[in-house]
Amino acid sequence: MSAIIMDGKALAAKTKEGIRAEVAKLQRKPGLAVVLVGDNGASQVYVRNKVKDCSECDIACYDYYLPQESTLEELLALIGELNGREDVDGILVQLPLPAQIPEKPVLEAIAPEKDVDAFHPDNMGRLLRGDAIYQPCTPSGVMEMLKEYHIDPAGKHCVVVGRSNIVGKPMALLLLQENGTVTVCHSRTPDLKEQCLQADILVAAVGREKLITADMVKEGAVVIDVAMNRNAAGKLCGDVDFPAVAEKAACITPVPGGVGPMTRAMLMKNTLTAAQRRQKA
């Protein structure tokens, strides 16, 4: 068996086209403020990509670069200013932050209605309750891909490997909301292989190259690889041993070109939603 490769890049392009069409209906362009603190190389690439996505969707992007040695107070002052700005619908603070700045007070300072990453406790609580305004971008991107490929989690056994606040936990909640039966695995799960073998839909979100091997995957499973790792040669790769698992799975996401582009498209979607809500209010 050879799996269907789920094309996140194509779906992201289609999604962004749809967003651009919706933006054209608004009285004012949506605005996204992207804040980068410090000189983390990977974060600089992510921010550049977000600027590009905004331009493709006709969303105004306001990018802010604060020096590595910035303080929590300086960052909070900027967030306070952005919270009050009429032309800013969404605010994103790129993570990770430099060590001297704690994450929690920063994420809590973003006005929940402008929290397009959906990391504010209000938005996380709404997600738990099943009435989210914004869904976190990576798991909602996965849900869009499942929908595009007509994969309904209802009645399926979904196994999520990883339990971070930004990927694993919200992923589990969204699958549960769509009536999947969900198991969440993590570093203390003693029998990872046994758990993964139960999966009709397997989502890997750990950050370890080749953690998921073909012997851990049920024949005909759907395999979603969220991870973005660098292998020894510096090449981008996921958690899944792609060539071997693709022989067993029914559908599989590649890395790159799978979940990553959809995460970015979902940020644009949340920014559009923020603008639509504010223009209606």
- Interface region with ligand NAP, contact rule CB under 6 A, candidates 25-33, 64-72, 246-254, 256-264: 256-264
Cis ω on the peptide bond leading into residue 256 (within 30° of 0)?
A: yes
Shortest Å, Cβ 281 to ligand NAP:
30
DSSP letters for 119-148? -SHHHHHHHHHT--SS--HHHHHHHHHHHH
Which of 15, 135, 138, 271 is the binder for ligand NAP (CB under 6 A)? Answer: 138
CA-based nearest residue to 133, from 29, 27, 281:
281
CA-based nearest residue to 160, from 210, 207, 190, 203:
203
Token duo for residue 48: 């550049």
String marking each residue 156-195 x if it binds ligand NAP according to CB under 6 A: -----xxxx-xxx----------------xxxxx--x---
Q: Are strands 31-37 and 60-66 parallel, antiparallel or unpaired?
A: parallel
Token duo for residue 74: 């300086």
207 binds ligand NAP (CB under 6 A): yes
Residue 87 known to be catalytic: no
Residue 228 DSSP one-character state: -
Token duo for residue 64: 């802010």
Residue 25 known to be catalytic: no
Shortest Å, Cβ 261 to ligand NAP:
8
112 binds ligand NAP (CB under 6 A): no
143 binds ligand NAP (CB under 6 A): no
Shortest Å, Cβ 27 to ligand NAP:
31
Q: How many CB atoms lie within 10 A of CB 239?
A: 24
**The one catalytic residue among 89, 94, 218, 269:** 94
Q: Name which of 177 and 189 has its Cβ closer to ligand NAP.
A: 189
- Interface region with ligand NAP, contact rule CB under 6 A, candidates 29-37, 53-61, 69-77, 227-235: 227-235
Q: Is 207 left (phi over 0), alpha (psi -120 to 50) or beta?
A: left
Q: Name which of 79 and 205 has its Cβ closer to ligand NAP.
A: 205
Which of 109, 143, 160, 206 is the binder for ligand NAP (CB under 6 A)? Answer: 206
Q: How many CB atoms lie within 10 A of CB 269?
A: 24
Q: Name which of 51 and 228 has its Cβ closer to ligand NAP.
A: 228
CA 226: distance to chain centroid?
A: 9
Contact positions vs ligand NAP (CB under 6 A): 138, 161-164, 166-168, 185-189, 192, 205-208, 211, 226-229, 259-260, 263
Residues with a catalytic annotation lie at 50, 94, 117
